[in-house]
Amino acid sequence: MRTLIFALVLSAGLGAAQSQEASPSIAGVVRQLEMGQNPVRVVCFGDSITGVYYHTGSRRAWTDLLGLAILKAWPSAKVEMVNAGISGNTTAQGLARMEREVIAKRPDLVAVMFGMNDVARTPVETYEANLRQISARCCRAGAAVIFCTPNSVTETPDRPNAKLAEFSEAMRRVAAGEGWPVADAFADWESLRKRDFGAWTLLMSETIHPNLNGHRRFAELMASTLSGKAIELADSEVGFDPDPIPLTRSRLEAGEPVKIVAMPPYDQWFPELARNHFPNARLEVLTWPVTPASAASKGGDPWSSGGREAAKG
């Protein structure tokens, strides 16, 4: 009888240990990164501040830079980065596409940055509940989570920084309750805005969206939060483009081919205006579709699935 009881206790203990081991955790992700044997897939889930748009030069965003920052923290790691950001999305819209654009990618880690659109359109209680649901779905899929609060902004009636602070606090509550780390971009950016407004403006493309320099700050903050050590990316690693205006002007004046990527109606307006100033200009226009689709979409739109490469050629 004692042998049977011992066997049952041992079996229960092993089952609990296996269950704990199977539960996703940041510690588990860190172990994978340290070992460097298998790729760690990171899905970055959010809105236009996550997606690849013109605010960062239309080539990369913090998803790519986070991959570089992770490699600085764990040089032997193998990482696969997936961008699942769509312009205009709230947490509710993110939940609606989460299965196909996040869970279907079989992530080891999901970096969640929503809030900028929720602030303008969603009650904070709903936002908090949606974040908990995002966390729960990630857990069920075996993925760990890191949250990132939104950046501070140049205030508008829809987006006062006081309200962004309230939503950021809601995200902190979710992260604490679910046991996930939070990269507190709002606190970081708001501190800088109050301390050195000039330096803060150099992170911004306009009133709401950060530029590539701002996306570098996101990536450094997230990698530092994950690793527990300060991570910095050099300008050469970020890939800032040289000033394109003199080069573009010289090509227009010389009648050399110039490719233009523009959303409607600018895809029609800009070529006409350019030819008024540069009659010999040879222009090829690539229309950037405005239908919502992320780089993680199956097939995506022409831009996310190959338009950027076509524009480079």
pLDDT > 50? residue 289: yes
CATH of domain 21-238: 3.40.50.1110
Q: What are phi and psi of 302, to 5 degrees?
A: -55, -30
More reliable by pLDDT, 232 or 2: 232
Indicate the pLDDT class of residue 75, thresholds 50, 70 and 90. very high
pLDDT > 50? residue 158: yes
Among 47-56, 173-182, 212-221, the minimum mean pLDDT is found in 47-56
Yes or no: say if 185 and 149 are a contact pair by the CB < 8 Å rule.
Answer: yes
- State how far the Cα of 130 lies from the Cα of 128, in Å rounded to an integer: 5
Share the mean pLDDT of the chain.
Answer: 87
Indicate the pLDDT class of residue 282, thresholds 50, 70 and 90. very high
Domain with CATH 3.40.50.1110 in the chain: 21-238
- State how far the Cα of 89 lies from the Cα of 101, in Å rounded to an integer: 13
Span 124-152, average pLDDT: 98
3-class SS letters over the chain: CHHHHHHHHHHHHHHHHHHHHHCCCHHHHHHHHHHCCCCEEEEEEECCCCCCCHHHCCCCCHHHHHHHHHHHHCCCCCEEEEEEECCCCCHHHHHHHHHHHCHHHCCCEEEEECCCCHHHHCCHHHHHHHHHHHHHHHHHCCCEEEEECCCCCCCCCCCCHHHHHHHHHHHHHHHHHHCCCEECHHHHHHHHHHHCHHHHHCCECCCCCECHHHHHHHHHHHHHHHHCCCCCCCHHHHCCCCCHHHHHHHHHHHCCEEEEEECCCHHHHHHHHHHHHCCCCEEEEEECCCCCCCCCCCCCCCHHHHHHHHHHC
pLDDT tens profile 165-216: 999 999 999 999 999 999 999 999 999 999 999 999 999 999 999 999 999 9
Question: Which class for 26: exposed (0-12), middle (13-18), buried (19 or more C-beta within 10 A)?
Answer: middle
Tell me, what's the pLDDT at 147?
99
Among 65-74, 85-94, 284-293, the minimum mean pLDDT is found in 284-293
Tell me, what's the pLDDT at 295?
59
Tell me, what's the pLDDT at 14?
37
Indicate the pLDDT class of residue 145, thresholds 50, 70 and 90. very high
Indicate the pLDDT class of residue 293, thresholds 50, 70 and 90. low
CA angle 309, 80, 167 (to 5 degrees): 95
Among 19-23, 159-163, 269-273, the minimum mean pLDDT is found in 19-23
pLDDT > 80? residue 304: no
pLDDT > 60? residue 3: no
Among 45-49, 67-71, 300-304, the minimum mean pLDDT is found in 300-304
